[in-house]
Copies of this chain bind each other. A is one copy, B any other.
Amino acid sequence: MGLPDDAAEARAQGWRTLAALHARIEDELERALQKQHGLSVSEYSVLDVLARQDDYHLRMNQLSNAVVLSQSATTRLVNRLEDRQLLQRYLCPTDRRGIYTEVTQAGRDLLEQAEPTHDAVLTAALEKAAELPELAPLVDALDNLPLKV
């Protein structure tokens, strides 16, 4: 139980742990993906999110929500990927304000190449984090997260 302040401090500490773990993992992913596949973490996320859609496409709007970026950042991110022909844009036929983005075959190929790197780095980063006493509990919790069906 404890005082209200304890609850606040507990939340703050949980957040610091979360933030620290996140930053460390993202840092390593960023370096590895950049170096080995020329992808940033955001770029990887976009390709990954799109590839996991049933029909490989999404609106800009949904995309920026999925990767938690601003609309403008999403526009430019999609620009970069489109320039590299990893995805395509096309107008939504029923609402011409909307624009769909769709991974291309090249995008899926690159993603397939990058996945092993992503997983390896993620695994290594989690193992390293598990050795730090302040991060270990969260790593554990992450391992035991119930899976989506």
Interface residues of A in 102-128 (CB under 8 A from B): 118-119, 122-123, 126
Contact with B along A1-40 (1 / 0, CB 8 A): 0000000101111110111111111110000000000000
Min CB distance A10 to B, Å, is 6
Contact A118 B12 (CB under 8 A): yes
Binds B, one of A77-85, A86-94, A139-147: A139-147
Instruction: Classify the secondary structure of A's interface with B.
Output: helix
Number of interface residues of A (CB under 8 A): 36
Contact B134 A145 (CB under 8 A): no
Nearest B residue (CB) for A119: B8
Contact A25 B14 (CB under 8 A): no
